[in-house]
Amino acid sequence: KSYPVRLPDSLDFAGEQVPLYDFDVVERLDRELLINTYWHSRTILILKEMKQVGGIIKPILKKYGVPQDFIYLAVAESGLQNDVVSPSGAKGIWQFLESTGENYGLEINEYVDERLNYEKATEAACKYLLESKQKFGSWTLAAASYNVGQGGLEGAMKNQKVKSYYDLYLNTETSRYIFRILALKELMKNPESYGFYVASTDQYPMWKYHSVQVDSSINDLAAFASYNGINYKYLKIFNPWMVNTSLQNTSHKSYAVKIPEPEMFEDEQHISEPGSKE
């Protein structure tokens, strides 16, 4: 049997209250909660990814003074899957277009695509969000601008003469965007209330690695991987920003290349007791 979901009595995004007294807000939130509650495979995968990817993202959000709730924006953008490519060419967990990524300091060329670098892309997202918060004065509006663009949001607010995201009439995608983030936050914070039981032992482990600083070209990444005690596959998994079979670095820029620790390959990293709960 399937049932309607129960909405929370109160909800906030980055400390800003959601007006659950507004019928339209309630219906939009209900829709996104229903979709994500009954999209079982995707929601369980996100819950399993939260420890591994969240362990990278959350400290960077904290460093930049961006509220932790913005991890749910990344979830809404990509499901925390770094290999997602949108029809418009946006890439990575934060779904940067090439031009936007470059505007916020990401290197993108035939050898390097820092949209796929978890740390660099998160730093770029923080810069964008802080800029938007300064511009709009609200974290909710900053999040909305991530979808529709700063110019698009500013124009809509001016034309409609409103100051709150929840009072705006927007295109279908942007009007659903914040509610998708809110629904994902509610599900990730209270999974058992919606029928999801994912123990900490079921979550994918946090990466353990050391970094090798490289300031010259690497003509053969497979040979480089072998020299560092791993294979090409694991070099690529831990460094998805290396998008070619070599790394040409004539400018002698310093790159931090992650080398996984041997314990990442031990069996107990991936074993959990069936049906176990925290």
pLDDT tens column, 144-169: 999 999 999 999 999 999 999 999 99
Average pLDDT over residues 109-125: 98
Lowest-confidence segment of 137-146, 172-181, 256-265, 268-277 by average pLDDT = 268-277
With vertex at residue 153, the alpha carbon angle to CA 162 and CA 132, rounded to the nearest 5 degrees, is 105
At 101-116, the pLDDT tens digits run 999 999 999 999 999 9
User: Is the pLDDT reported for residue 273 higher than 60?
Assistant: no
Q: How far apart are CA 54 and CA 49, in angstroms?
A: 8
pLDDT-derived band at 278 (thresholds 50, 70, 90) equals very low
CB neighbourhood size of 41 (10 A): 7
Structure tokens at 24: 């339209």
Confirm if 67 and 139 have CB atoms less than 8 A apart.
yes
Give pLDDT, residue 271: 39
pLDDT category at 268 given cuts 50, 70, 90 is low
Q: What angle do CA 70, 71, 76 make, to 5 degrees?
A: 95
Predicted pLDDT at 182: 98
Domain residue limits, the chain: 12-202, 209-262
Note the pLDDT of residue 263: 86
Write the CATH number of the domain with boundaries 12-202. Answer: 1.10.530.10
pLDDT digits 0-9 by tens, 209-241:
999 999 999 999 999 999 999 999 999 999 999
Using CA atoms, how far residue 2 sits from 28, 194, 278, in Å, is 19, 11, 25
